[in-house]
Amino acid sequence: MAASTAAARRLLLALAVLAACLGSAPHGAVALRSLGVGGAKAADGDAAVDLDASNFTAFLQTSPESFAVVEFFAHWCPACRNYKPHYERVAKLFNGPDAAHPGTVVMARVDCASKVNVDLCNKFSVDHYPYLVWGPPTKFNLAQWKPKQENSELELIDDGRTADRLLKWINKKMGSSFNLDDKKYENESMHPKNTSDPEQIVRAIYDVEEATSHALQIILEHKMIKPDTRDSLISFLQILVAHHPSKRCRRGSAELLIDFDDHWHTNLSLSLEDSTTLLKGAGEKVCGNGVPRGYWIFCRGSKKETRGFSCGLWVLLHSLTVRIGDGESQTTFTSICDFIHNFFICEECRTHFYEMCSSVSVPFKSARDLALWLWTAHNKVNERLMKEEKELDNADPSFPKIIWPPKQLCPLCYRSSSRTADGAMQVEWNEDEVFNFLVNYYGKMLVSSYRETSMQSFQVASISDDSSASSAATVPIGAALGIALASCTFGALACFWRTQQKNRKYYHLRSLKKI
In this structure, what CATH number is given to the domain that contains residue 121? 3.40.30.10
Q: Residue range 339-367: average pLDDT?
A: 92
446 lies in a domain?
no
What confidence score (pLDDT) does residue 504 get? 47
Instruction: Answer whether residue 273 shows pLDDT above 60.
Output: no
Reply yes or no on whether the pLDDT at 515 is more than 70.
no
Residue 363 domain boundaries = 200-265+272-295+306-391
The pLDDT, as a whole number, for residue 90 is 95
Specify if 364 maps to a domain: yes
Q: Is the dihedral of CA 249, 254, 255, 261 positive or negative?
A: positive
Q: How many Å apart are CA 311 and CA 103, to the nearest integer?
A: 16
CA distance 321 to 229: 22
167 & 204 share domain: no
Considering the domain architecture, whether residues 226 and 130 belong to the same structural domain is answered as no
CB 347 within 8 A of CB 353: no
Beta pairing class for 105-111 and 67-73: parallel
Q: Using pLDDT thresholds of 50, 70 and 90, give the confidence band for residue 423.
A: low
82 domain-assigned: yes
C-alpha dihedral over 153, 159, 164, 168, to 10 degrees? Answer: -40
Q: Would residue 89 count as lying in a domain?
A: yes
| Average pLDDT estimate for 120-125 | 95
Does 312 lie in the same domain as 254? yes
How many structural domains compose the chain?
A: 2
Q: Is 2 among the domain residues?
A: no
- Same domain for 247 and 99, yes or no, is no
Q: Which of 360, 391, 422 finishes a domain?
A: 391
Residue at a domain's end among 391, 414, 432: 391
411 part of a folded domain: no
In a shared domain, residues 124 and 225? no
**Residue 499, pLDDT above cutoff 60:** no
Q: Are residues 281 and 169 in the same domain?
A: no
> Mean of the per-residue pLDDT values for the chain?
76
284 vs 117: CA distance, rounded Å: 30
Identify whether 481 is part of a domain: no
Q: Which of 98-112, 174-188, 484-498 has the lowest mean pLDDT?
A: 484-498
Q: Is 249 a catalytic residue?
A: no
Distance CA 388, CA 383 (A): 9
> Among residues 464, 467, 489, which one has the least CA distance to residue 242?
489
pLDDT of residue 150: 80
Is the residue at 125 inside a domain?
yes
pLDDT > 90? residue 74: yes
Pair 219, 110 in one domain: no
pLDDT at 507 over 50: no
> Could you give the C-alpha distances from 98 to 84, 296, 327, in angstroms and in order?
19, 11, 44
Element (H, E) at 414: strand 414-419
Q: What is the largest CA-CA distance in the chain?
A: 81
User: Is residue 228 domain-shared with residue 121, that is, in the same domain?
Assistant: no
Are 131 and 245 in a shared domain? no
Residue 208 shares a structural domain with residue 166 = no
Q: Are 208 and 146 in a shared domain?
A: no
The last residue of a domain, from among 391, 414, 442: 391
Do 118 and 251 sit in the same domain of this protein? Answer: no
Q: Active-site residue 80, yes or no?
A: yes
Catalytic residue among 80, 311, 337, 410, which? 80
pLDDT of 180 over the 80 cut: yes
